[in-house]
C-alpha cells in the first residue's frame, strides 16, 4: 500500500503523522511510505531520518497525498488536502468531525473517502487507547498554562497556583475525571493548588479520591457546577463523548457569575467546547475575554509539544496503523475497535453525530 505523510499545515501544529520508527515498521512489511519534505521537522525528525527508515521524501504535498491509498495525519485535513486525495482512498487522524464544517463532510462523502478518527478507536471496556496519551499530555499542560495566564503580565489576576505561607493557593475546578481531567488534577496538585474535581459518575470520582486524597470530589449536577465555578480561579473543561459534540455544561450565566478575571481552559474545544462562551483560538493568540473571564480554547493544545506528542501518539497508534496499511476494508471489518472509529465510508456517514448547522474549524 502507498502511505502518505504530509506536513501538517494548521498554525502551531508541530506533530507528525508517522515517526521514522513507524515508517521503518511499515517499510519492512513491504509498504511504500511517502513523507513530505520537512514534515517531521517540528518533532525533531529530519528528512534524512525518514530516508534511513525507508521512506521516500517528496517535495510536493499534492504528490504525497495524491499518491496515497492511506493518508496518515494528526490534525483534521484542510479542504485543499481533501481535494488532493484520490476518490476511494482513506485518511486517518484526530478528525473531530462532529465539530467541523459541513463542506468537509460533503467532500469526504462525495469522494467516498474512508475517514478513520483516532479519537474514536474504542476498546470493549470503553477506553480510547490512541486518544489517551494526547489527553494525558493536554491535561498535564493545563497547570503550566494556568500558571502563566494567572500572572499579571499575561492579563491574569496575579495569583500563584500554590500560594505561600499565609496566602491560600489558587482554587482549581476540573470538570471531567477521565484521562485529561485526572492528569490535570495530578499537575495542579503537584504545583500546590487546591483542586475540586466533578464528574457525573461515582467510579471515576472514587479513583480520584483513592489516588489523590487532597482533591475534593463532587457529582457534576447543575447546582454543584454552579457552586464550584463561582469560587474558582481556574476552571478546566475535560468532557468527551466519542463521536459527538461535547455537551455544554457551563452556561453563560455560570460564566458571568465567576470571579472577575478568572481563567477557563476548555480542553473539549476540539469537540465544540463544554462552555457556552467558548470559541476556538490558536497558540499565537490563545486567549480572549468574555463576560470578564479569560478563556483559553486552543484545539491542538499538544501540537506545540511536537516531539513528545508524536512519540506518545505512535506508541499508542502504531498497531492500528499497521492493520489499516495491510488492508483498510479487512481492518475495519475485523477489528471492532477500528470499526467504531470509521466516520465516513463508501459515501456514507458512520459513528458520527453532527452539530446542528455544522461547526467551525476555527482556522480556515
**How many CB atoms neighbour CB 158 within 10 A?**
9
For residue 356, give every residue at least 6 positions away whose Cβ sits within 8 Å of its Cβ, in sequence order, or none.
none
Catalytic annotation, residues: 96, 270
pLDDT at position 359 is 46
pLDDT at position 240 is 87
pTM over 0.75: yes
Single out the residue of 67, 68, 61, 66 nearest to residue 8, CA to CA: 61
Written as tens digits, the pLDDT of the chain (364 aa) is 999 999 999 999 999 999 999 999 999 999 999 999 999 999 999 999 999 999 999 999 999 999 999 999 999 999 999 999 999 999 999 998 887 888 999 999 999 999 999 999 999 999 999 999 999 999 999 999 999 999 999 999 999 999 999 999 999 999 999 999 999 999 999 999 999 999 999 999 999 999 999 999 999 999 999 999 999 999 999 998 877 889 999 999 999 999 999 999 999 998 889 999 999 999 999 999 999 999 999 999 999 999 999 999 999 999 999 999 999 999 999 999 999 999 999 999 999 875 444 444 444 5
pLDDT at position 354 is 59
For residue 227, give every residue at least 6 positions away whose Cβ sits within 8 Å of its Cβ, in sequence order, or none.
none
Contacts 24+ apart (CB under 8 A), 77-82: 77/104, 78/9, 78/10, 78/361, 78/363, 78/364, 79/103, 79/104, 79/107, 79/364, 81/6, 81/9, 82/107, 82/108, 82/111, 82/113
- Alpha carbons within 13 A on the beta-carbon side of 294: 22
Domains defined for the chain, CATH in brackets = 2-121+306-349 (3.40.50.720), 131-303 (3.40.50.720)
Please state, in angstroms and as integers, the Cα–Cα distance from residue 76 to each residue in 6, 140, 215, 270, following that order.
12, 23, 35, 10
Amino acid at each position: 500500500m502507498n502511505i502518505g505523510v504530509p506536513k501538517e499545515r494548521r498554525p502551531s501544529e508541530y506533530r507528525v503523522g508517522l515517526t521514522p520508527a513507524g515508517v521503518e515498521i511499515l517499510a519492512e512489511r513491504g509498504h511504500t511510505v511517502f513523507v513530505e519534505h520537512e514534515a517531521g521537522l517540528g518533532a525533531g525528525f529530519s528528512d534524512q531520518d525518514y530516508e534511513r527508515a525507508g521512506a521516500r521524501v517528496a517535495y510536493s504535498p499534492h504528490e504525497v497525498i495524491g499518491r496515497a491509498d492511506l493518508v496518515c495525519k494528526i490534525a483534521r485535513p484542510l479542504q485543499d488536502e481533501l481535494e488532493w486525495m484520490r476518490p476511494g482512498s482513506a485518511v486517518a487522524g484526530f478528525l473531530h468531525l462532529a465539530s467541523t464544517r459541513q463542506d468537509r463532510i460533503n467532500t469526504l462523502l462525495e469522494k467516498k473517502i474512508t475517514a478513520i478518527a483516532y479519537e474514536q478507536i474504542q476498546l470493549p471496556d470503553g477506553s480510547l487507547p490512541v486518544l489517551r496519551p494526547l489527553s494525558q499530555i493536554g491535561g498535564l499542560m493545563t497547570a503550566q498554562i494556568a500558571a502563566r495566564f494567572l500572572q499579571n503580565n499575561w492579563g491574569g489576576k496575579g495569583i500563584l497556583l500554590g500560594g505561600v505561607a499565609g496566602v491560600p493557593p489558587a482554587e482549581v475546578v476540573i470538570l471531567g475525571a477521565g484521562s485529561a481531567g485526572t492528569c490535570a488534577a495530578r499537575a495542579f496538585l503537584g504545583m500546590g493548588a487546591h483542586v475540586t474535581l466533578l464528574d457525573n459518575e461515582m467510579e471515576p470520582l472514587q479513583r480520584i479520591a483513592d489516588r489523590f486524597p487532597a482533591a475534593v470530589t463532587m457529582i457534576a449536577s447543575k447546582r454543584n457546577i454552579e457552586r464550584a465555578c463561582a469560587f474558582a480561579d481556574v476552571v478546566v473543561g475535560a468532557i468527551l463523548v466519542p463521536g459527538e459534540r461535547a455537551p455544554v455544561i457551563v452556561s453563560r450565566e455560570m460564566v458571568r457569575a465567576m470571579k472577575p478575571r478568572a481563567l477557563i481552559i476548555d480542553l473539549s474545544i476540539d469537540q465544540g467546547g463544554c462552555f457556552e462562551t467558548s470559541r476556538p483560538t490558536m497558540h499565537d493568540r490563545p486567549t480572549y475575554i468574555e463576560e470578564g473571564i479569560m478563556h483559553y480554547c486552543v484545539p491542538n493544545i499538544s501540537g506545540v509539544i511536537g516531539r513528545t506528542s508524536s512519540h506518545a501518539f505512535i506508541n499508542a497508534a502504531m498497531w492500528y496503523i499497521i492493520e489499516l496499511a495491510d488492508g483498510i476494508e479487512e481492518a475495519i471489518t475485523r477489528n471492532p475497535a477500528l470499526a467504531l472509529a470509521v466516520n465516513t465510508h463508501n459515501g456514507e456517514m458512520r459513528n458520527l453525530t453532527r452539530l446542528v448547522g455544522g461547526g467551525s474549524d476555527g482556522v480556515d
